[in-house]
Amino acid sequence: MAVSTLSSIPQIEKILQQAFLAPYIDTLSRPVVTDVIREQVGRYKKAHIQNPETTPFSLEQLYHFIERACWQVKQQRLQRVVNGTGVIVHTNLGRSPIDADLWQSVSEVNTHYNNLEIDLGTGKRGKRKGLLQTLMQHLVKGEDTLVVNNNASSIYLMLHELAKGKEVIVSRGEQIQIGGGFRIPDILALSGAKLVEVGTTNITTTQDYLDAITEETAMVLIVHTSNFKIRGFTESADVKELAKALPDHVVLAVDQGSGTTTEAMPDEPSVASYIQAGADIVCFSGDKILGGPQAGLVTGKQSLIKQLEKNPMMRAFRPSRIVYSLLEELVVRKLNHLDSGKGVAETKSKAEATTIEQRAHRLAEGFGEQVAVVPSEMTVGGGSLPDQVDPSWSVEIDSGATRYKPEKLLQVMRSWPLPVIGVIKHDKVQLNMATISNDEVFYLRSQLAEVLQ
């Protein structure tokens, strides 16, 4: 019995021709879909042979399993999502989305040959940096700037080149752990530099740094404490005062983190403010407040940047033309004060609360008590501006009106064709409108209409 029904399962090649699999072949590739089919057919046969009564043969059911398995694999693909968290630079959601117009404008240089490493004047081999050094002089006041793949690489490079085998003084208050297990003390150890801790978790003065300096000291490293802020009685050394007091053989390096370059975010010290206060070199990420691609930038004294560029690890850390082209275009737009150069953090955090509220009402309209508009807060996130929250508005979904408990509703929303990431507040599902764009509202309305009855 079992044999005759199982033998009616079509060949894998025939199953691949089923119309319901065409979109999966487009997104996952034919070999990946083939593997999924093979695995599901194998499982189904096994279950049927072991338990013919509980698993009676049904081709329809087999196809259903195959489709579900394909869908699960598809969820692993990198794809657009709707950010309903109210965290603008969200590390789990790709940090800063790149402005669509900016992205378009670098398409030509990336889809053609380009002068990445040729000097168009002499025809000889040229530098990778293009105009970036000059542009950054205007933006952050550093004499010279180099780019690596992320800010963790910047820190490693600074420590390895300038402080290997020597001492680096860091305040105890800045012994922070940045997301994903990135610890300053670990990087220090890897780079071969020796950590010297000074001060206490809440107070470190200029004198604390000065007292710790020996002939072996290569660097004082100031780390912008981004993921948390110690509240209450705190004091950190004034950078200007410290810069003046440090002896010549000690480099003053700052890990600024977020890449803030405007006065529009007054609570976040900008890169330029550290340079102007006398820091020798400052490093920061490209994809936080700066609003560009993933990158690490180091800016400051030309002699130091030149030295870092000669480090053998530079070859391993150097970014691609995609990163350079995006950064050049971004900085030009910043210098010309174009909206498309501001970066998502500045644009969204400066949005009027009334605009956000109107957007919330457009989403909630017509759903009655099932969808309420409630006040909430947004944060910049991504390890920036830890204390600062700005007013926002959220829509709150009465999950009682759906078939789902809040946790389950979040999961259902993540399974929508364009996945939506919400949050639970006061036991209810909320979508924070600060990080949801106008053109996503229509989609959300139609999806909500389906789950609310």
Ligand X SMILES: *Cc1c(COP(=O)(O)O)cnc(C)c1O
Task: Kindly list the residues in this chain that would bind ligand X in the complex (CB under 6 A).
Answer: 150-152, 178, 182, 223-224, 226, 255, 257-258, 285, 296, 383
Query: What share of residues in the chain are helix, strand, coil (percent, to 5)?
Result: 45, 20, 35
Q: What distance in Å separates the CA atoms of residue 358 and residue 431, rounded to the nearest whole number? A: 14
- Degrees (nearest 5) of the Cα angle 343, 183, 178? 30
Helices and strands (H, E) in the chain, number of each type: 20, 15
Q: Which of 369, 325, 380, 359 shows the shortest CA–CA distance to 442?
A: 359
Q: How far is the CB of 92 from ligand X (least distance, A)?
A: 13
Closest to ligand X by CB, 180 vs 417, is 180
Q: How far is the CB of 85 from ligand X (least distance, A)?
A: 18
86, 423 Cβ separation under 8 angstroms: yes
Closest to ligand X by CB, 68 vs 229, is 229
Residue nearest to ligand X (CB): 257
Q: How far is the CB of 105 from ligand X (least distance, A)?
A: 24
Closest to ligand X by CB, 142 vs 296, is 296
Closest to ligand X by CB, 89 vs 373, is 89
Closest to ligand X by CB, 182 vs 443, is 182
Closest to ligand X by CB, 258 vs 349, is 258
Whole-angstrom CA distances from 363 to 38, 274, 414 are 43, 43, 18
Closest to ligand X by CB, 10 vs 179, is 179
Q: What distance in Å separates the CA atoms of residue 245 and residue 51, rounded to the nearest whole number? A: 81
Q: How far is the CB of 102 from ligand X (least distance, A)?
A: 19
Q: What distance in Å separates the CA atoms of residue 281 and residue 312, rounded to the nearest whole number? A: 19
**Residues linked to residue 379 through DSSP beta bridges, in sequence order:** 87, 389
Strand segments (E) across 48-166: 82-83, 144-148
Q: How far is the CB of 312 from ligand X (least distance, A)?
A: 20
Q: How far is the CB of 178 from ligand X (least distance, A)?
A: 5
- Degrees (nearest 5) of the Cα angle 353, 357, 359? 120
Q: How far is the CB of 331 from ligand X (least distance, A)?
A: 17
Q: What distance in Å separates the CA atoms of residue 430 and residue 65, rounded to the nearest whole number? A: 32
